[in-house]
Amino acid sequence: MKKIYIALLIVLLCTTLLAEEVDEIAAVVGNETILKSEVKGFYEQWMSASQQPSNITEDDVLQMLIGEKLILEKAKQEGIVAQDAEIKMRLEQVINNLQAQFSSPEQFFLALQNEGLTLEKLKEQYREEISKQIVKETILNQAVYSKISISEYEKRNFYQTHIDSLPLRPEMVKIGQIIIKPKVSQKGLDEALKKIQDIKSQLDMNGDFEELAKKYSECPTADNGGDLGYFARGDMVKPFEESAFSLSIGEINDPVETEFGYHLIRVDDKRDGEVHAHHILIRAEATKQDTIEAKQKINDIYKKLKNGADFIKLAEQYSDTTGVGKKFKIIQEYPVSQLEKIPSFGDVIKALKENEYSEVVEIDGGYYIFKNFGYVEPRPYEYDEISQQIENLALEQKRQNALEKWLQDLRKEIFVKVY
């Protein structure tokens, strides 16, 4: 039977343990006390929840709890409180995450019953800790994290300093690909345009955008009423982006064509160079004749390969890279150990020997030929390959150093005594 742990929402999240008898005090922070039973209880939960052996000690736990009390005391002095709406939203996330661990809602509620809990009691036990977490995040962002940034020099220095301790880039296989997709004919475009124009007419007659998106949109966002959330320039394909950023809040565009089909866009909000929008997508579908022509084209390319034509030159001449990303390359590298996990074509490229090419493979309505161009041995990552990860690591280190310094300063400001 699965146990539901009320603690360990995050590293510093502590559980309030009620002592059944007189308990010894481990430390005092401001007007708050930390009991030895709290330290012991959190330590035991930490050790039981840890996936790997840990060298953490009870003294380490005590110092974490002191740090938490200092943060909460400072937030109290600054008048920071958690808002009910934020607490409710996070509480729902926690409950949903817990429920997802069970095979069915019935199993989840049975586990609650076996623990002597109801859903409301469970929420109450989480509510206080979630409120504390929100308060801690707020004060830390205001007093510490918002003041920290990482320069390019610091990133590169971190890379040079830690290069020997970073994991190696795994063995990679270089895979070339030729892609032929059915080219949508004018007939297909005209049919999609008529559909989107009919939907626009319904909107012009005060139709509900979200309901029409759920009914007609051919995008995965349809279930959410076409909600795209916030996005910035460069996140979407150019025609879509230009239309979205030209609209006023609440305005709906005329149909705009992209490589995916035709879109209707409604802008809901704008902030700091970002737009929040809903959209409806009608895809321009290839006709049967379009598919026949694409299949004939890829078969002709395959024959040329058989007759000794150069793979790269054929890819450069014929490959259709529409919709595969701005950074598409004919030859891409994939981790050898992860090939079987690549959807649709992982098994195909895993079976290729060096310098061998595949037969024609159909994937999601398109046609592909793959070639194994050889392997790359494990090696250290170059800076440009992991610059984003380096930035994250360097920033986290700087944040931790700043937090430790800030907590040291708080110890001078707020009374702390360890027994």
The phi-psi region of residue 293 (left if phi > 0; otherwise alpha if psi is between -120 and 50; otherwise beta) is: alpha
User: Residue 324: which pLDDT band, with cuts at 50, 70 and 90?
Assistant: very low
Q: Give the per-residue pLDDT at 1.
A: 37
Q: Specify the CATH architecture of the domain 186-282.
A: Roll (3.10)
Top-confidence residue, 366 or 321: 366
Longest dimension (CA), the chain: 88
What pLDDT was estimated at residue 117? 86
Q: What is the pLDDT of residues 69-101, one digit of tens each?
A: 999 999 999 999 999 989 888 888 888 888 888
Q: Are strands 227-232 and 366-376 parallel, antiparallel or unpaired?
A: unpaired
Given the candidates 1.20.1440.230, 3.30.70.1520, 2.70.70.10, 3.10.50.40, the CATH classification of the domain at 172-181+287-376 is 3.10.50.40
Q: Mind listing the pLDDT tens digit for each residue in 185-218?
A: 788 888 899 999 999 999 999 999 999 999 999 9
Sole residue written with tokens 């049919």: 191
pTM (two decimals) = 0.63
Hey, do 172-181+287-376 and 186-282 end up sharing a CATH topology, with the first three levels equal? yes
Dist CA 52 CA 74 (whole Å) = 34
Contacts 24+ apart (CB under 8 A), 108-112: 111/1, 111/2, 111/4, 112/4
Sheet strand arrangement including 172-180 = 331-335, 172-180, 366-376, 361-363
**Which amino acid would we find at residue 24?**
E
* Domain chopping of the chain, boundaries: 25-143, 172-181+287-376, 186-282
Instruction: Kindly indicate the confidence band of residue 311, based on its pLDDT and cuts at 50, 70 and 90.
Output: very high
pLDDT of res. 130: 92
pLDDT at 362 over 90: yes
Q: Per-residue pLDDT averaged across 299-321, rounded?
A: 93
Regarding beta strands 172-180 and 25-29, do their DSSP bridges make them parallel or antiparallel, or are they unpaired?
Answer: unpaired
* Backbone phi and psi for residue 413, each to the nearest 5 degrees, phi listed first: -95, -35
Q: Are strands 25-29 and 32-35 parallel, antiparallel or unpaired?
A: antiparallel
SS (H, E, C) 36-47: HHHHHHHHHHHH
From CA 113, how far away is CA 107, in angstroms rounded?
10
CATH class, domain 25-143, is mainly alpha
Q: What digits encode the pLDDT tens for the residues 34-71?
A: 999 888 888 888 888 776 667 888 888 899 999 999 99
Sheet (strand 274-282) strand order: 227-232, 274-282, 261-271, 256-258
Rounded CA-CA distance 122/127 in Å is 9
State what percent of residues in the chain have pLDDT above 70: 92
Which residue shows structure tokens 């909107």?
203
The DSSP 8-state label assigned to residue 357 in this structure reads B
